[in-house]
């Protein structure tokens, strides 16, 4: 038993931080949001671990948090990949083992530099936070996330500051707060190097309590400021729009059969029109209908009107007597070869006329919507459930519909601030996001994707309307008010009266995001150069 406990204690720093991060991210309450990396960082700074142990503890932390936060990979592996239970579990394990390696890499970088340049503890904690932020900002994650999204999930008012610094900036403040707290704990533990094993009560000395108080006051001030900022924005002039959201809850099996064999498409067309007409009869004042991603799994371009199901859709469209935005498929004209297919958004006037070329999705989900390297090794498409998948569009687009300028997103694109910022620079009146999260199951991912999408409304101060196939459909306005949230895996429709706030210019974050990131990176590099310079000067003095 003693040997087991000794071995177990050796894994505690990474295991503890991994558990804290994983259970503080959406959909869990953010109970450890401001100290989840502290055990890992204190281990790196206070102990004398080898480079291998530093990487190992960081790897363990990212593995555990990935298992907890992204356990829905198991569900999608079975639902979309049709993998048997053991292979789906293996897919989750492999995903968790590799997906967030930026965490151990950030520890290794700081550990190496500290050893070479003899950093103080305070500098080391500072750069542990800065290196993690820099890597999480630029690391090629499949699902780019950071801890700041938990602020909007928990409705901590500090999220309202995202129109100035974005959720990336808020994430930096969270990590810096953790660095300050870790440093205060380091002061409590004393100045003796190499003593990694200390009693927990030694962590809770006066410097630790001071650090906790300072961090708490800092976030109270940010939250009060954020609340004031949100209320101030809500006082701006606005117009209203009555939007009909229609969530059809079409099953995955029906979607697959519709896309591959053309089955069920007439039934889907019938269902969405029936739900919309019923909603229009209940609320004749509805001004715009929105259907979710791939609501009609058919090619709806003008040059595809000869297709049977496309004709059926166009024949029914004028009956709606309202403008509509919906997800469907798009393709190149017949004369182009090779002909490409796209996941797309279409907009039609109340007369049933297409008002703009379809928006073709730009940022595609790897394996879900395209097979990497399939153009080089075509055989790879045979083993991917998505086949060769879709082609990518040329970039963001705006629909001009009944006088509204509507910025567009399809599903995964909502995770990228730069994408939403572009339509905000084009002075969109609102953002419409259509999604299908039905492949990911009822736990975890639908909540994460929802609130990461809603975050774009705060950064741009544009009302964001999200309509999904199976939930969560929702609306958030530019002031951060969430109007509705649909149930999961149920047929649902609702007319929501939303506010479209008038803005003189795009938000500070929209205008200067790239510059702010560049400035922080420049300050990080200048700091490294200065620390290297000081180390060289100290070495010269020793030699003298």
DSSP-assigned beta bridge partners for residue 239: 500
**Where is the domain boundary, 195, 212, 234?**
234
Res 14: pLDDT: 95
What is the structure's pLDDT at 535?
79
Number of other residues whose CB lies within 10 A of the CB of residue 512:
17
**161 and 127 housed in the same domain:** yes
- The answer to whether position 520 is within a domain reads no
Predicted local distance difference test score (pLDDT) of residue 537: 80
Residues 258 and 210 in one domain: no
Measure the CA–CA gap between 346 and 514, rounded to whole angstroms: 31
**pTM of the predicted model as reported, rounded to 2 decimal places:** 0.94
Q: Judge whether 449 and 413 are in contact, CB under 8 Å.
A: no
Q: Are residues 250 and 225 in the same domain?
A: no
| Residue 517 maps to a domain | no
Residue 133: burial class (beta carbons within 10 Å; 0-12, 13-18, 19+): buried
> Rounded to the nearest 5°, which phi and psi values hold at 364?
-100, 145
pLDDT value for 216: 97
- Domain for residue 528, yes or no? no
Query: Catalytic annotation on 411?
Result: yes
My answer on whether 268 and 334 are in the same domain is yes
What range does the domain containing 488 cover? 238-506
With contact defined as beta carbons under 8 Å apart, do 323 and 291 qualify?
no
* Sequence-ordered list of residues with C-beta below 8 angstroms from that of 311, at least 6 positions apart, any chain: 305
Same domain, 164 and 261: no
Based on the fold, state whether residues 230 and 248 are members of the same structural domain.
no
Can you tell me the distance from the alpha carbon of 296 to that of 369, in angstroms, rounded to the nearest whole number?
17
Q: Give me 295's structure tokens.
A: 């609501």
Do 314 and 362 sit in the same domain of this protein?
yes
**Are 225 and 288 within one domain?**
no
- With respect to residue 31, please indicate whether it lies within any of the assigned structural domains: yes
Tokens of 430: 């609102």
Residue numbers of the chain with a pLDDT score lower than 50: 191-198, 377
Choosing from 204, 234, 264, the residue where a domain stops is: 234
Per the residue annotation, which of 46, 168, 293, 369 is the catalytic one? 293
Does one domain contain both 173 and 221?
yes
Angle at 135 between CA 131 and CA 136, to 5 degrees: 115
Three-state secondary structure of 31-99: CCCCCCCHHHHHHHHHCCCCHHHHHHHHHHHHHHHHHHHCCHHHHHHHHCCCCCHHHHHHHHHHHHHHC
DSSP string, 447-477: HHHHHHHHHHHHHHT-EEEEEESSS--EEE-
The tally of domains found in the chain comes to 2
Q: How many helices (H) and strands (E) does the chain have?
A: 18, 12
What the block records as the tokens of 183 is: 């440093």
Does 411 fall in a domain?
yes
Q: Are 410 and 449 in contact (CB under 8 A)?
A: no
Residue 389 domain flag: yes
Residues 299-331 as b/e (b if ≥16 CB within 10 A, e otherwise) read bbbeebeebebbebbbeebeebebbbbbbbbbb
- Pair 61, 116 in one domain: yes
- Tell me if 30 sits within 8 A of 448, measured CB to CB: no
**For residue 532, is it within any domain?**
no
Catalytic residue among 36, 46, 255, 411: 411
473 contacts: CB under 8 Å, gap ≥ 6: 245, 247, 292, 466, 467, 484, 485, 486, 492
Distance between first and last Cα of the chain: 54
CATH of the domain at 352: 3.60.110.10
126, 191: one domain = yes
Spot the catalytic one: 361, 369, 413, 445: 361
Catalytic status, residue 293: yes
Task: Identify whether residues 229 and 258 lie together within a single domain.
Answer: no
Is the Cβ–Cβ distance between 435 and 292 less than 8 Å?
yes
Cα distances (Å, whole numbers) of residue 270 to 178, 199, 312, 468, 538: 54, 67, 10, 18, 77
């Amino acid at each position: 038993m003693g040997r087991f406990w000794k071995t177990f204690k050796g894994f505690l720093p990474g295991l503890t931080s991994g558990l804290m991060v994983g259970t503080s991210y959406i959909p869990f309450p953010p109970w450890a949001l401001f100290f989840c990396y502290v055990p890992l960082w204190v281990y790196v700074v206070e102990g004398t671990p080898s480079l291998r142990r530093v990487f190992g503890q960081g790897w363990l932390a990212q593995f555990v948090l990935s298992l907890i936060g992204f356990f829905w990979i198991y569900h999608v592996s079975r639902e979309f990949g049709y993998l048997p239970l053991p292979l789906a579990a293996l897919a989750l394990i492999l995903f968790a083992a590799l997906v967030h390696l930026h965490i151990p890499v950030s520890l290794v970088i700081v550990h190496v530099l500290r050893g070479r340049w003899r950093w103080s503890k305070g500098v080391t904690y500072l750069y542990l936070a800065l290196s993690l932020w820099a890597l999480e900002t630029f690391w090629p994650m499949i699902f780019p996330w950071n801890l700041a999204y938990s602020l909007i999930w928990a409705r901590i008012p500090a999220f309202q500051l995202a129109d100035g610094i974005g959720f990336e900036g808020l994430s930096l403040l969270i990590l810096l707060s953790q660095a300050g707290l870790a440093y205060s704990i380091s002061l409590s533990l004393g100045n003796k190097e190499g003593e990694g094993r200390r009693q927990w009560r030694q962590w809770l000395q006066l410097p630790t309590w001071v650090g906790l108080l300072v961090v708490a006051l800092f976030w109270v001030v940010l939250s009060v400021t954020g609340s004031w900022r949100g209320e101030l924005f809500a006082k701006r002039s606005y117009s209203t729009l009555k939007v009909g959201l229609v969530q059809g809850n079409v099953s995955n099996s029906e979607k697959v059969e519709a896309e591959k064999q053309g089955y069920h498409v007439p039934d889907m067309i019938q269902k969405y029109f029936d739900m919309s007409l019923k909603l229009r009869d209940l609320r004749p004042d509805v001004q715009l209908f929105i259907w979710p991603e791939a609501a009609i799994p058919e090619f709806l371009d003008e040059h595809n009107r000869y297709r049977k199901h496309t004709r059926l859709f166009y024949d029914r469209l004028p009956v709606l007597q309202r403008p509509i935005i919906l997800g469907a498929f798009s393709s190149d004209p017949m004369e182009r070869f090779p002909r490409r297919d796209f996941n797309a958004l279409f907009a039609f006037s109340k007369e049933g006329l297409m008002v703009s070329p379809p928006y073709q999705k730009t940022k595609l989900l790897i394996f879900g919507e395209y097979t990497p390297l399939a153009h080089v090794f075509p055989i790879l498409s045979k083993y991917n459930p998505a086949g060769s998948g879709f082609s990518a569009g040329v970039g963001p687009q705006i629909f001009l519909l009944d006088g509204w300028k509507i910025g567009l997103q399809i599903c995964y694109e909502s995770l990228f601030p730069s994408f939403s910022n572009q339509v905000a620079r084009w002075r969109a009146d609102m953002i419409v996001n259509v999604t299908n999260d039905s492949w990911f199951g009822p736990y975890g991912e639908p909540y994460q994707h929802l609130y990461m999408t809603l975050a774009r409304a705060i950064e741009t101060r544009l009302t964001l309307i999200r309509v999904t196939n199976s939930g969560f459909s929702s609306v958030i306005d530019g002031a951060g008010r969430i109007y509705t949230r649909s149930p999961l895996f149920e047929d649902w429709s609702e007319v929501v009266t939303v506010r479209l706030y008038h803005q003189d210019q795009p938000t500070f974050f929209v205008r200067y995001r790239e510059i702010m990131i560049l400035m922080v990176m420049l300050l990080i590099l200048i700091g490294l150069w200065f620390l290297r310079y000081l180390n060289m000067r100290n070495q010269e003095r020793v030699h003298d």
